[in-house]
Structure formats: structure tokens, C-alpha cells
Amino acid sequence: MASFKPDKEFSDIATKLWDADENRLTPGTDYAINLQGKTFYHNMGQRDSAKEPLFSYVNMEKLKKMPTYKCFIALLDNYESETGIAEVVTEAEVRENQVFIDAIMETKVMKIVHKYLADKKLSPKDVRGFKHQLYDMWFKLYRRTRGDRDFDSSGFEHVFVGENKRNTNEVTGFHNWIKFYLEEVKGNIDYKGWLPPKIKRGRPRADNNAQLVTIQFTWKGGVKPLGSSFIGTSPEFEMALYTLFFLTSEKDEQDVEIEDYDVQVKVHHLGKMLGSCYPVIRQ
């Protein structure tokens, strides 16, 4: 396993975004998780190390009162999860996407990342131009699988909503805790347990106050053998962080320190399109 070598500039801006996330929820107060037993990739969802759901409580009343959360949740039912099936985007859904971008652009984290990217000439300086860039990056449809005829995916769908890979039992993407919780409430997800970090310092233990975890679960008949997600962070924080790394990182993965976490941010480019972006905890 390669050693962890955090980039200082990326770590500084990522930590600045973390500190500016005013809408991040507090573990033990606004929500509670129950990690339960440890599992491993090779179990592939066949062994259940967690008899209870991952989330034991989320203050949904608080979430629904915060504009960015409310707008984010409205987007989650706009997609067909199976790849290879064309997405049909209605005028109402286009408007929901725009309203979400308008809402997150009122927050500190998005203003910080906009200035950072504009100063590096990677994004337009004007807010309207940046909003257009965000829309194209996150919501513009594309073909995820070579040979498919239909535009069946987008960066937002893959990262935040999740997809079922056609003709397999594999869940791809799905790196958002809010979506996970809502699917648990509906009974669509079976949480199987947590996975230890890639770099071990001592014996890793379940930490129910952790705000970055790696888990295994099944969803809609498919399995996600290893999925990493922030917990309790706001939609705008994740949008800001992933936008930052997609536009700035020249590598497929970047080591950064965020708060107390050693994180490897994975970035997948599909040409100029955002294929995926997500965090992997190293310790």
C-alpha cells in the first residue's frame, strides 16, 4: 500500500471548506449512526455484520428547514437507477436542478470554492457563468457505458443518487449519506457493516461519531461491497469539494488532510465529464 502523502494546498482549501460548512449536522445531536460489526470487501454482502440499520436517528424536521437540504432531497427521485436506460428530464426537473444550484451558491462553502477556482482561471468569475459550469458538470447527461445509445447517467446521479449496473448485481456510485438514510427508511437498503481504513494504525474500531465511513450494503438487488461517504456534511460541502477536485486535480486520486481525517479523494474523468468523485478514508 502506497504511503499517505497529503498535498498542502489541497489540504488547506479542503479544510477551509470543512470549517465553512455551517449546515453540517452534529453527530449524537442531529443524527446518530450505529456502525455495529466489521466486514470486508470479499464478503460481497453475503455476510451480515449489522443486524440494525446504519442510521438510528436523523432530525428530518431540521433538514427540511434548511434550503440546501430541502432542494437536494427534491432531486433524489428524478433518476432511473439502472444504467443503459435513458433518463427523461422534464422541465420541472430542470428547474429543480437550477433551484438547487441557486441555493448552494448562497452558502459560504460554494463562495469559497468559486473564488478559488476563478482565481486559478478554472471557472468563470461571474456567478451566473459559474452556475452554468456547475449545471453542465453535474447535471448534463451522458452515456456511462461505451456502446450504449441512450444518455443514461450524469455526475450528480452517479455520486449522490447511485446506479445499478445493468446485467450485474453491482451498485455503483452512491456516496451520499442523506440518500442512504432515506433509502433505509423505505426499506430499500440492507446495511451489512463497516470496513476498516486502508492504512491501519493500531486496531481500527467502530466510531459512531465518525463523519467519514466506509461501508457495505445491498440496494435494489445489487451489492455495494465498498462505499465511502461523509456523514452529516451538507450537500453544498460535498458539491464544493468534489467540484474542486474534478477541476483542479491532474491525478485520479489525491491525498489530503481534512480536519482529523486522512483522506484520499478519488476522481474519475469521462473525457470532460465527471464520472465520479468520492472520499476514501485512510485513517
State pTM to two decimals.
Answer: 0.93
Over residues 24-68, the pLDDT tens digits come to 999 999 999 999 999 999 999 999 999 999 999 999 999 999 999
The catalytically annotated residue of 114, 158, 192, 266 is 158
Q: For the ranges 8-17, 33-42, 162-171, 230-239, which has the lowest average pLDDT?
A: 162-171
Residue 2 lies in a domain: no
Residue 3 lies in a domain: no
Over residues 163-180, the pLDDT tens digits come to 988 777 799 999 999 999
Q: For the ranges 8-12, 140-144, 186-190, 262-266, which has the lowest average pLDDT?
A: 140-144
pLDDT of residue 259: 86
Over residues 69-86, the pLDDT tens digits come to 999 999 998 877 666 566
Residue 150 lies in a domain: yes
Is residue 175 annotated as a catalytic residue, yes or no?
yes
Residue 229 lies in a domain: yes
Taking the alpha carbons at both ends of the chain, their separation in whole angstroms is: 13
Provide the percentage of residues in the chain whose pLDDT is more than 70: 92
The catalytically annotated residue of 114, 175, 179, 266 is 175
Residue 262 lies in a domain: yes
Residue 115 lies in a domain: yes
d(C-alpha 66, C-alpha 70), whole Å: 6
How many CB atoms are located within 10 Å of the residue 162 CB? 25
Number of domains in the chain: 1
The catalytically annotated residue of 114, 192, 224, 266 is 224
d(C-alpha 273, C-alpha 136), whole Å: 8
Residue 1 lies in a domain: no
* CB 115 within 8 Å of CB 121: no
Over residues 141-162, the pLDDT tens digits come to 887 766 556 676 899 999 999 9
Residue 22 lies in a domain: yes
Which uninterrupted H or E stretch holds 192?
Answer: strand 189-194
Domain range for 60 is 8-281
The partner residues of 33 in beta bridges, in order of sequence, read: 55
